[in-house]
Structure 1
Amino acid sequence: MNSILLAFGAIDARLATGCRALSLRRHEAAVRIGVHAHERLAAQRMWFDVDLCVKLDHAPAARDHISETLDYDFIRDVIAREVGSQHHELQESLCDAIAAALLQSPGVHAVRVATRKPDIYPDSASIGVERVCIKPW
C-alpha cells in the first residue's frame, strides 16, 4: 500500500511531516442514491474510503489512550450523518459533503474521501468518485 502521508506531502510537505494519517477503508453503508428511477426504489450499497491528516498536536499519541488521537467513530458518524435518510442524486455531492464535514473538525487538516457503488455494472467492480480537501495553514 502506498503512503497517504507521502501522497498528501506531494501537495504540501507540511502534511507529511506535521500530521498523522488516519484511515477508514471500505466502510459499507446502505445509501439512497442515484438519478435513475430504479435507483429511487431502494438503498444501494456504497463503500467509503477516508484518509485524514490530523495535526500532530491534535493526535500526539504521547500516552496510550484514545484522548491522544482522533476516534475513528468520528469518521463513521460523519458518514452516517451525511448519508442520512434522504435521497442523494449524485456521488459527487455526497462525497463533497462528507469531505467538508470531516474538515470541520479542528484537528483535521486535510481529507481524502472516495465513494464507490459496487453493484452498478455487471462487468465492473464499482464506480466511484474521489475528493481531496486541505485547510489553509
Structure 2
Amino acid sequence: MSAAGSPPPIHSGNAAVASWARDPRLAGCRRLFLCEHVRAVEIGIHDFEQHAPQRLVFHVDLFVPLAASTPQADRIDEVVDYDFIRAVIAERIAAGRIGLQETLCDDIARRLLAHPQVRAVALSTAKPDVYADSRAVGVEVMLFKDAA
C-alpha cells in the first residue's frame, strides 16, 4: 500500500520509456502520458473472457517535438491535447470485441502515431483480473514514426 492507503500501480510506466532520454530519435521531445487509464473492454480468447467485458489498464506515452508542443499563448490548440489519447482508446474499444492485447495495442499505437505532431508512442495494457495468483498480465509496444 502507498502512504495514501491505495494499492501501488499495476505498472508505473512503460519499460521501453525508461531509457527514452538516451534515444537520439527522441531528442528534443516532450513526453506526454496517460497513466492507469482503466476501461471495460470486450477482449480475450479464453472461454471465461467471452461473457463480459473485463478491466484493462492502459498506460500511454506520446513523444512530441518541443517545437510542436511548446505553447506561445498558453492555448490548448498549441499542443497535443490529452483528450486525444482518451478518444483514440475509446474509439477502438467501441469498434468491438478483440481477441488479443497485442492486436489492441498495435491498433491503438498506430492510431496515436498518425497524429501529425506525434513522433513516437509507447503503449501498454494490463489485465488485472485474469489470474488469481498474479497482479496482471500485459503487453507493451513502442512505435516510432520513421519505423511505423
Q: TM-score w.r.t. structure 2 length?
A: 0.83
Alignment-derived partner of residue 133 in structure 1: 143
Q: Distance in 1 between matches of 2:95 and 2:88?
A: 13
Alignment-derived partner of residue 13 in structure 1: 24
Q: Percent identity?
A: 46
How far apart are residue 116 of structure 1 and its match?
A: 0.4
Segment drifting more, 67-76 vs 52-61: 52-61
Structure 2 unaligned residues grouped into runs of 5+? 1-11
Structure 1 residues 25-50: Cα deviation after superposition (integer angstroms, max 9, x where no partner):
01011000000122110000000000
Q: How many residues in Structure 1 have an aligned counterpart in Structure 2?
A: 134
**CA contact under 8 A between 1:54 and 1:109: conserved in structure 2?**
yes
2:20 alignment partner AA: F
Distance 1:44 1:57, change over 3 A: same
Return the match for 2:107 from 76, 97, 100.
97
- Give the RMSD, CA atoms, in angstroms: 2.0
Alignment-derived partner of residue 110 in structure 1: 120
For residues 1-137 of structure 1, the aligned pairs below 5 Å read 7-10=19-22, 12-15=23-26, 17-136=27-146
2:24 alignment partner AA: A
**CA contact under 8 A between 2:109 and 2:123: conserved in structure 1?**
yes
Structure 1 residues 70-114: Cα deviation after superposition (integer angstroms, max 9, x where no partner):
100000000011112511100000000010000000000000000
How far apart are residue 62 of structure 1 and its match?
A: 2.5
What secondary structure is seen at the aligned counterpart in 2 of 1:46? strand
Structure 1 unaligned residues grouped into runs of 5+? none
**CA contact under 8 A between 2:29 and 2:63: conserved in structure 1?**
yes
**CA contact under 8 A between 2:34 and 2:60: conserved in structure 1?**
yes
Q: Distance in 2 between matches of 1:65 and 1:46?
A: 32
**CA contact under 8 A between 1:40 and 1:87: conserved in structure 2?**
no
Q: Distance in 2 between matches of 1:128 and 1:62?
A: 39
